[in-house]
Amino acid sequence: MVERQLLEEEKQQWEKEKQLMKTLNPITSVYLNVGGRHFTTSITTLTTLSNSFFTTIFSGRFELSKTKDGYIFIDRDGDLFVYILEYLRDREIIFPNSDTSLLQQLKKKIIREANYYQLEELIDYLNDNKLNTTTETEIFQYIGSNEGKSNWSNPFMAQIVINYFKVLLQS
């Protein structure tokens, strides 16, 4: 009997939260100050992944305090938040062209931030070993293929080969 009553109370609380959520306009612009960097986005974008930091703060259960200029302050790294927001918008991150060790360091930092924001899907995405890596075998297969031989004028392909040999010479 007690269990049924608890379930009923939980259901009523859930219904209240649903009503509160309806009062928030998901298209409304949200102004964030993350580590001193200012961002403008929408509640819809920030809450695309369920059970996250953002779904919690925009659930209507909490009073959101804002700075005097109207920003919600988050004491995290604003430079890394760019990648968080990129993933929430596009479900992918385009990383800068850099050597593998720098890319791995950047991924670790973004994973740390994703943990803070409780973005499990992003963490899984970043932990995918195939993400943004090109193996030595793939490079040599491409160079030896007809497509690779005809693409030497492609600056992107040339940069991949140059970066590969720079890393090879450093190790």
pTM: 0.62
Closest by CA to 136, choosing from 105, 170, 90, 167, is: 167
What does the DSSP assignment read for 19-71? HHHHHS-TTSEEEEEETTEEEEEEHHHHTSSSSSHHHHHTSSSSPPP--TTSP
Which value, in Å, is the radius of gyration of the alpha carbons in the chain? 22
Q: Write out the chain's pLDDT in tens, 171 residues.
A: 778 788 788 888 777 766 655 555 556 789 999 999 999 999 999 999 989 999 999 888 888 889 999 999 999 999 999 999 999 999 999 887 777 788 889 999 999 999 999 999 999 999 885 554 555 555 556 566 665 555 555 555 666 666 666 665 554
Going by their DSSP bridges, the two strands 37-42 and 29-34 should be labelled as: antiparallel
Q: How many residues does the chain have?
A: 171
